[in-house]
Structure 1
Amino acid sequence: MTDPERRLCLPALKELRKELRGAPWDATSRKAYPTLHAAGAACHTGAAGTAAWIGAADMRWSQASAATLLHVLGDRDRDWLGNLAQRLADRPSTSQVPYELMAGLVRLSGCPVPTTETYVVGWVEQIGSLWERGDTVLDRLRQDPYTPELVPALFEIPDIGSHLDWLFGDGPDSWIEALARLTEEGVLDREAMIDACVARLLRGVVASDCRVFLRLLTALEPTGAEERERVADWLALVSHPSSTVASHARSVLGSLALAGEIAPRQLAEMSAVVLFRTEKKLVRAQLVLLGKVLRHDPSSAAELLPAVAHAFGHEDTDVQERALKLVERYFGGIGTADPRARDEVADAVAQLSAGLRARAITALGLDADEHASQPHLELLPPAPEPSRLAPAPDTVIEVAEEVGALMVSADTDMAAFERALDGLVRHAYLRQEELAEALKPAVARSWWMGTDHHPYSSDEHFRRDPYGLEVVLAALVGRVHTSTLHEAHQHGPVSDPCVHRALSAVFNARLWEAAYRVRTDPMPFLLATPTWSSGFLEPDELVARLTEYDRLGARPGEVDFTQALLRVRRDDRAASASAAGRAAALGTVEGERLARWLLSEEPTTPTTSRHVTAERILLGLGELDGLPSDLPLAFRQLALPVGAFNAHTYCHHYWNRVERQHWLAVVPGRRELVAARLVREVSTVAVKDTRGMAAVLPLLAEAEGEAGEALHLCVAYGLGARHPEDRLSAVDALLVLAARGQLDAERLGGDLGQLVRMGAVKPLRLTESVRTAATTGAYSTVWSILGAALPAMLAGLAADGAAPAVRGMGELLAVAAECAERTGAHGDVEHLAPVAERSGSSRLVAQARRLRATLEQGVAA
């Protein structure tokens, strides 16, 4: 066919392609794709159109073979074929253009080999996949005429290591070994290869890139002369994010330094970077290197000791002590010749821990008054204050916008939720049709807006659970039957009860009632909307709402009014008595109930019972006395006791964690009721290594009410969580409790000691948490907790002097010693002395001795 004849076929081929694109995956017609793919490539007469057709996404999984495409395209002129090869190579690698096709076009056209990512990655994979030929990677690379052009391109492709790490491999038949041999044989330029490896490490931070090119650089075995030529590169690489790369650069520079190949100034520059790193192994190796250089050339002390002093600020006191020993040994060698160096070292002494600082002042002959630090000042975050909720949105459009935001939000703020719910009720009372129309865009993507083809109906869905605001929205737009809402409102949930049901039942009952009343008897507004973000409702405000209900002749919702009673603030007895008088004067049933409630005594705090199992501590909760006797069905479980073993491992609320932040507003001022029901699942962040269960801890800490045994036990589990985000939540809760003066350090420390002793909390995880809390400035708070926790943790080690140290105990003692030094703590920690008197110099023993010495001296930083 001539070119015009081929072009005439294109419309029919494109129409067929459009038809096949809409066919199901299992349609017989899809078998035509490979033939269509080849025919379309042949009928395009322009290289751009041919490349677009070959690389089309819809034919990616049913392409014609490379041999077929080369056959139908092979009669084109060489320039056209070269143009097509370059265009295919320029396409992204996700196009999955076969390498055999691109390589065949290069071979037919004689054009320069492309060095794009798609071509080079295809080449590497092709070389590595020809194992069935029986030869080696090295043999294949030797036979490929394009190897000298394609290997340098490997170093220019972004994130090439993520594609090729698994292909490079190890051993005699690996890519690394093959490239090293080709470099040795002169096929590849040695200087260019070394430069390319170093340059790629300098600009690459992807872990796979670092692994591949560092292994290749090591296989090339640079000589001493080649390493000396690149001193500036090694100096830059010691600050590399990858510790492996930094360690290699440090090792190279260390060898050069011991051989006298780099100046003391360059070694000092390198040390300032290495000693700032967090990897203890690197830091210690650098201090050993500096010690060797100083022994060989003591005159370099003026250059090197200021660099050594950078380690004075390291978090590990063992590192600080190693650095101090070097300074003590060679500080006199500085003399008066370099006062600037002496001043730099003296200024760095302030970064040492308190015990080492006192030693340094004496050993270096410094002025004690000049280098004395200020007494410790405890820094805690400002105590959170509840904020007043903003009024409900004024217009239907504003309500719809806020509801839309909440529908797509992964986290529902209690205040925003209550405002939106109140706004829906208010505007449903005034202009329901207008509100329903405005809400349609917000709910358009909800599955229950089109239930014809869903496996179960929206009625079944909302009978199980209201799903937050969704049940109210579905009621407004007519997607749930009134009978379903009535049944849910009257009888509550159909799911099995769980330990959380007492709280979730109240939350859900309000939503079912609001949805039911929207359809049958709209309320003018909600009575239970809180005044404050803490969940409390001011008594005067509730009286005013009841007065307005009475004026409008509206009937309060039973659940809504009962929730309002539980939220009304009663700590100001004078204000309560005044509001009670006005409520009674209304002459309504609700007014009389409110008056009695405001004048009654606060419910007593339930007692807790502690139960210790093989792997964790659990709590039971006694009966809550003092609640009204005429509670609706949904509220009756609030007064019932909670058994320590009633909590299931999983329940509906395990997956629906958004609802939890509303539970504190069900019973504001009684966070122990909530905490006791959450102890078991919060414990899983430490015991079972789950994620996210401790996110509720800051909310518990900021809530009102007694901070009792349940809350402190939850925080203890959170401090030992597996995942950093859970530990941070626990630290936030700890600091908030301390800032509010509600932290019982003895109780929390006792819980932590027992949990560590039984293995529920791992010391290393606890160390990370308390170190984070301490570094915010709360050293005294952390010491008060650790001082109470350590006796139980050390008891086992003290009882058996030969008992192996628990992993992380040395690090935990280091944090305790740091806090004791900074705060000037003194006294005695039970069971510390036997551990400190153990033989050896392990981290556990060294830090135990440090803590004991600190407590004996009462050192204040």
Structure 2
Amino acid sequence: MSLIELVEAGDVAGVVGELGRLTPAQRKENDVALAARRAVMNTERDRYSATEMNAQLAAELGCQDSAAAAADWLCVIENRRAVGGPSEDGAWMVDVIDSRPIEWRAELAGLLGERVQTGWTSVFAFLEHLVHDTGCPVPTSDAFLGSWLGDRGIGHQERPAHLKGGVRGADLRERLLEDPWTARLLPLAVARPGVDLPLQNLAEISLAEPGLIDRDVLAGRCYALLSDKAPWGSIQLKAMELTPAEHAKVSGPRVELLDRCLERLLQDGTRMAVGPWLYLLRVMAPAPAEHAAVAGDYLALLDGSPPVAEYAQEILAGLDEIGLVERELVGEAGERVLLRPEKKLVRAQLSWLDRAAKRDPARAGQVVMAVATAFDHRDAALRERALAVVGRHLKAAGESVLPELRAAAERLGPALSARAAELLGMPSDGAAEPLADVLPVVPEPRPVPGPLATVAEVAEEVAAVVAGDQDVVAFERALDGLVRHAHLDRAALATALKPVSREEPRWRFDCAPEHLYAVARAVADPEPYEYLHRRRGTGQFSLTGELLAARLVEAGELVASGTQPFLLAVPTLSTGALDAAVLVERLAAFEGLGVTPGPVDLAQALLRVTPTADRQVLSSAENLGSEAGRRTAAWLRAGGLPHQDSEPPDWDTARKRWRSPARPGLTLDPPMPKEVAKLLGPYERRKHYVVDPPQAYWFAQLPHHRDVVAARDYFESCQNDRGWTAALPFMAESGGPAGFAVHMALAESTGTSRPADRGPAVDAMLVLAARGQLDAALLGRQIAALVCEGGVLANRLVETLRIMADTGAYGTVWSVLEGALPGLLGDKPVRGAAELLALAVECASRCGASGEVAEVTAVARRTGSSLVVKNARALREVLLRAGHAAR
């Protein structure tokens, strides 16, 4: 049988025998035929058995005309994976190669030694066999050394009987000690930078028998590798414990690695990003002198994220203990740390300074002045701790520090003022003058400018809205401009809008102002905008979004027909409110032109119109003769949309995890479009939730009934705690009663987890307070209920109210806390009550609050010295003192 026939039969032994009888010319001829057959096999692998594949591979290897060609073949990835590795399945490789002269095999070993790489298990095992079989020199290329260490390490496999070489041993250490090549190859592998030397191998090598390798060289290589790579080798470094002498010998690479770690930490990042670098530093354990040389970098790290700052603080405190840092650096460290919000860091800094003064009383003056920085800290417990540290070292500090300490003590707050006065010899002038609340100027709604005059102005305004401008005025003027100019000159408008209509707005789950695109497209394209028509009425939009979608669809129809000269519902104020006199004038103009307004446009206008008692306006409305005019007149006579109370009965006594506002609903007569009926009528639980955050237009749809929007949409949507508070200032600036639902939205916002979301929540509460519309007692009760049920965390509540107090609204914050504290204290104060009481002490003292809160008094009368009890006593004292002063 020919070689190809033997291959097709899967006869590996026959192939090997036939190869020995072939001439070089016959090998070359068969090589071409085998390549063609291999191409077919590669496309139809499932048709061939392992035996047939081995026969093919044996024939291909045996037909290589030179050692270089054989080396090339063995390094091809498909061949390398298929030759069976160091197992009995690859025994044919030895038989094929043994048919060649020993010089040819030795040349092949040398060529493979230059090219083998770590992970090429089968090639390395075959190469090791060749070296032992031919007696050729052991390769010493970087590639071979890395592959040899990889094989002896985690890639080691026992050799089968047909392969010479391999070593026994349970781990790298035992295998290296067993290997006759170790004495020659290991020093070369460690010394050469080009060798791919895994860090785990270095760590294991360090545990080998003494004399196996120079540990100084090994340690230097280890640090050199670590300083050139990410810090994932720190676990291996931990296994390589160096003696003090070895530390000194590798000081250069260690310092380079230390510098690299500090350089990375100065860039800071998340806990996950900086964690490996901090771990590497701890494992490397730089000597104190090495730390001291870069003390300035550690000082800078005190401004970093908490894990970075904690590590830097630990190192600097240790250096100070042994006198390796300047005293001025200690003072600067205090300035950087003592006002940070992380209590653990501040406590550690106070302890460091306390120990420094105990260790060396001569430093007491510097210490107490540094500690006085913490008198400005927000946390009352930390201010108290700082005052205690000052008290312990005041005598040693001397009288020269008293003037500055007394000035700093004025910022301690009323709870500590008496103790500070006694400690520092300050006069007690009695209670300070109450501070009036600093509230923002009540924002006045902006008048809406007149209609857009040209198609160019319309195109510009539409482009801004479609691009994401959420301004109510811009949207309403652009929508009216499309209807108005389509009526006047639709062709000119279509030309101006061509650039706007090329790109759709970004995808949203809810209908939004940027879907004005649908109306702009309708100017030139009669096909309806698929997004609105497909999703409208499915319940996936918010209720106000459904109304907006209905307005846009109707406006598109008006644009296409050109039957309506302008929109009735364009507001006259930025809140969405519509002046009654203007609405009556617009309806009179429609009657003069014989135009019947779109039903959705009329309904939106009625929802927006501001109730009026102006007899002239009412009389003009009564004179309207159209159906729309008569409906408007009746609407104005009735005072507009009736108010719906959103406060559930007995909500503060019924313990429920989710406190939904009431939604009684109205039956409108005559009926309005279904979108309006759904928004205002009998409540139906939603099947879908809206994940887009609410926007200004929600409240502009019902500018005199923000509580309805809050109850119907805000609490029926999926509040994902990301960006939802951005709508609260619009809610506060809107109109109508601020009822239970509005206050509940504010109460929930005080527990937002994102610091960036606290600003809008505070702004909304301050605007309502400035308008006299904030029911602080109700808000406090709602907050207490949410905290007790776990809906709001006390620490987040403190942060939000602290931001509000820092604006100067101490009286407003106290009013909220006064309403919340009874529910937060009770029989068992909630977690975080101490911080809330501390904030209450500060706000009550600054605004001059007086009276008694029974629950605060009850906690103050308890025995013990917990922070909750101490702060309750301080609050009771502030309230009593203010009451006495008022009398």
Give your verdict on TM over 0.5.
Answer: yes
1:495 aligns with 2:537: yes
- CA shift for structure 1 position 323: 1.6
State the TM-score, normalized to the length of structure 2: 0.69
Moved more, 736-745 or 755-764: 755-764
1:353 aligns with 2:413: yes
Counterpart of 2:267? Answer: 204
1:788 aligns with 2:819: yes
1:440 aligns with 2:482: no
Moved more, 391-400 or 544-553: 544-553
1:807 aligns with 2:831: yes
State the SS of the aligned residue for 1:323: helix
- CA shift for structure 1 position 344: 2.0
Q: Give the residue type in structure 2 aligned to 1:429.
A: H
State the SS of the aligned residue for 2:661: strand
Counterpart of 2:810? Answer: 779
Q: State whether residues 505 and 514 of structure 2, in contact with CA within 8 Å, keep that contact through their aligned partners in structure 1.
A: no
Q: State whether residues 588 and 624 of structure 2, in contact with CA within 8 Å, keep that contact through their aligned partners in structure 1.
A: yes
Counterpart of 2:547? Answer: 506
Counterpart of 1:397? Answer: 456
Question: Which structure 1 segments of 5+ residues have no match?
Answer: 1-26, 29-62, 69-101, 108-122, 449-457, 798-804
Q: Give the residue type in structure 1 aligned to 2:818.
A: G
Q: Take 2:291 and 2:453, find their aligned partners in 1: how far apart are those partners?
A: 73
Q: Take 2:421 and 2:570, find their aligned partners in 1: how far apart are those partners?
A: 63
Q: Take 1:647 and 1:730, find their aligned partners in 2: how far apart are those partners?
A: 27
1:573-722 correspondence runs (5 A): 573-574=613-614, 577-585=615-623, 587-608=625-646, 609-610=648-649, 612=654, 614-624=656-666, 629=670, 631-642=672-683, 646-648=684-686, 650-651=688-689, 654-657=690-693, 661-678=696-713, 680-681=715-716, 685=719, 690-722=721-753
Instruction: Go from structure 1 to structure 2 and tell me whether the alpha carbon gap of 1:473 and 1:288 turns closer, same or farther (over 3 Å shift).
Output: same
State the SS of the aligned residue for 1:831: helix
Instruction: Go from structure 1 to structure 2 and tell me whether the alpha carbon gap of 1:432 and 1:269 turns closer, same or farther (over 3 Å shift).
Output: same
Q: State whether residues 728 and 746 of structure 2, in contact with CA within 8 Å, keep that contact through their aligned partners in structure 1.
A: yes
Q: State whether residues 235 and 249 of structure 1, in contact with CA within 8 Å, keep that contact through their aligned partners in structure 2.
A: yes
Q: Take 1:233 and 1:474, find their aligned partners in 2: how far apart are those partners?
A: 60
- CA shift for structure 1 position 838: 4.5
- CA shift for structure 1 position 540: 2.7
Instruction: Go from structure 1 to structure 2 and tell me whether the alpha carbon gap of 1:539 and 1:106 turns closer, same or farther (over 3 Å shift).
Output: farther
- CA shift for structure 1 position 263: 5.3
Match of 1:168 among 233, 244, 253: 233
* 1:788-845, Cα deviation, whole Å (9 max, x unpaired): 1111222241xxxxxxx64323222222222223223233223334434445544333
Q: Give the residue type in structure 2 aligned to 1:168.
A: G
* 1:109-162, Cα deviation, whole Å (9 max, x unpaired): xxxxxxxxxxxxxx999654987x996699999999999699568658xxx7xx
State the SS of the aligned residue for 1:665: helix
* 1:395-440, Cα deviation, whole Å (9 max, x unpaired): 223322322222231x632222111111111111122122223323
Q: Take 2:322 and 2:200, find their aligned partners in 1: how far apart are those partners?
A: 46
Counterpart of 2:169? Answer: none
State the SS of the aligned residue for 1:292: helix
State the SS of the aligned residue for 1:394: coil
- CA shift for structure 1 position 352: 0.6
Q: Take 2:840 and 2:563, find their aligned partners in 1: how far apart are those partners?
A: 60
Q: State whether residues 816 and 851 of structure 1, in contact with CA within 8 Å, keep that contact through their aligned partners in structure 2.
A: yes
Counterpart of 2:522? Answer: 475
Q: Take 1:246 and 1:810, find their aligned partners in 2: how far apart are those partners?
A: 26
- CA shift for structure 1 position 328: 2.9
Counterpart of 2:581? Answer: 540
Q: Give the residue type in structure 1 aligned to 2:309.
A: A
Counterpart of 1:563? Answer: 604
State the SS of the aligned residue for 1:382: coil
Instruction: Go from structure 1 to structure 2 and tell me whether the alpha carbon gap of 1:234 and 1:134 turns closer, same or farther (over 3 Å shift).
Output: closer
* 1:638-659, Cα deviation, whole Å (9 max, x unpaired): 55233xxx433633xx03446x
Instruction: Go from structure 1 to structure 2 and tell me whether the alpha carbon gap of 1:185 and 1:639 turns closer, same or farther (over 3 Å shift).
Output: closer
Question: Which structure 2 segments of 5+ residues have no match?
Answer: 1-42, 45-75, 82-140, 147-192
Q: Give the residue type in structure 2 aligned to 1:621.
A: R
Q: Give the residue type in structure 2 aligned to 1:529.
A: V
Counterpart of 1:522? Answer: 563
Q: Take 1:265 and 1:351, find their aligned partners in 2: how far apart are those partners?
A: 24
Moved more, 347-356 or 372-381: 372-381
Instruction: Go from structure 1 to structure 2 and tell me whether the alpha carbon gap of 1:260 and 1:517 turns closer, same or farther (over 3 Å shift).
Output: closer
Counterpart of 2:771? Answer: 740
Counterpart of 2:485? Answer: 427
Q: State whether residues 183 and 190 of structure 1, in contact with CA within 8 Å, keep that contact through their aligned partners in structure 2.
A: no
Q: Take 1:273 and 1:665, find their aligned partners in 2: how far apart are those partners?
A: 47
- CA shift for structure 1 position 544: 3.1
* 1:655-706, Cα deviation, whole Å (9 max, x unpaired): 3446x53232332211121122135347x65xxx643444332221111111
Q: Take 2:484 and 2:766, find their aligned partners in 1: how far apart are those partners?
A: 40
Q: Take 2:411 and 2:733, find their aligned partners in 1: how far apart are those partners?
A: 35
Q: Take 1:478 and 1:145, find their aligned partners in 2: how far apart are those partners?
A: 78
State the TM-score, normalized to the length of structure 1: 0.71
Aligned length: 698
Q: Give the residue type in structure 1 aligned to 2:516.
A: L
Q: State whether residues 234 and 283 of structure 2, in contact with CA within 8 Å, keep that contact through their aligned partners in structure 1.
A: no
Q: Take 1:827 and 1:250, find their aligned partners in 2: how far apart are those partners?
A: 45
Q: Take 2:552 and 2:267, find their aligned partners in 1: how far apart are those partners?
A: 54
Instruction: Go from structure 1 to structure 2 and tell me whether the alpha carbon gap of 1:710 and 1:240 turns closer, same or farther (over 3 Å shift).
Output: closer
State the SS of the aligned residue for 2:571: coil
Q: Take 1:138 and 1:382, find their aligned partners in 2: how far apart are those partners?
A: 74
Q: Take 2:551 and 2:194, find their aligned partners in 1: how far apart are those partners?
A: 64
Instruction: Go from structure 1 to structure 2 and tell me whether the alpha carbon gap of 1:631 and 1:258 turns closer, same or farther (over 3 Å shift).
Output: closer
State the SS of the aligned residue for 2:701: coil
* 1:342-377, Cα deviation, whole Å (9 max, x unpaired): 3221221122121212321232112445x9855323
State the SS of the aligned residue for 2:339: coil
Counterpart of 1:240? Answer: 303
- CA shift for structure 1 position 285: 2.2
Instruction: Go from structure 1 to structure 2 and tell me whether the alpha carbon gap of 1:197 and 1:518 turns closer, same or farther (over 3 Å shift).
Output: closer
Instruction: Go from structure 1 to structure 2 and tell me whether the alpha carbon gap of 1:331 and 1:657 turns closer, same or farther (over 3 Å shift).
Output: closer
1:342 aligns with 2:389: no
Q: Take 1:134 and 1:344, find their aligned partners in 2: how far apart are those partners?
A: 56
Q: Sequence identity of aligned pairs in percent?
A: 35
1:304 aligns with 2:373: no
Q: State whether residues 513 and 559 of structure 1, in contact with CA within 8 Å, keep that contact through their aligned partners in structure 2.
A: yes
Counterpart of 2:783? Answer: 752
Match of 2:424 among 364, 375, 385: 364
Q: State whether residues 138 and 175 of structure 1, in contact with CA within 8 Å, keep that contact through their aligned partners in structure 2.
A: no
Instruction: Go from structure 1 to structure 2 and tell me whether the alpha carbon gap of 1:152 and 1:857 turns closer, same or farther (over 3 Å shift).
Output: farther
Moved more, 735-744 or 281-290: 281-290
Q: Give the residue type in structure 2 aligned to 1:676.
A: A
Instruction: Go from structure 1 to structure 2 and tell me whether the alpha carbon gap of 1:141 and 1:124 turns closer, same or farther (over 3 Å shift).
Output: farther
Match of 2:590 among 541, 549, 553: 549
Q: Give the residue type in structure 1 aligned to 2:682.
A: P
Instruction: Tell which structure's C-alpha radius of gyration is larger.
Output: 2
Moved more, 780-789 or 264-273: 264-273
Match of 1:220 among 245, 265, 284: 284
Q: State whether residues 298 and 316 of structure 2, in contact with CA within 8 Å, keep that contact through their aligned partners in structure 1.
A: yes
Q: Give the residue type in structure 2 aligned to 1:379.
A: V
Q: Take 1:215 and 1:556, find their aligned partners in 2: how far apart are those partners?
A: 72
State the SS of the aligned residue for 1:423: helix
Q: Give the residue type in structure 2 aligned to 1:417.
A: F
Q: Take 2:397 and 2:827, find their aligned partners in 1: how far apart are those partners?
A: 49
Moved more, 549-558 or 301-310: 549-558
- CA shift for structure 1 position 774: 1.7
Counterpart of 2:338? Answer: 275
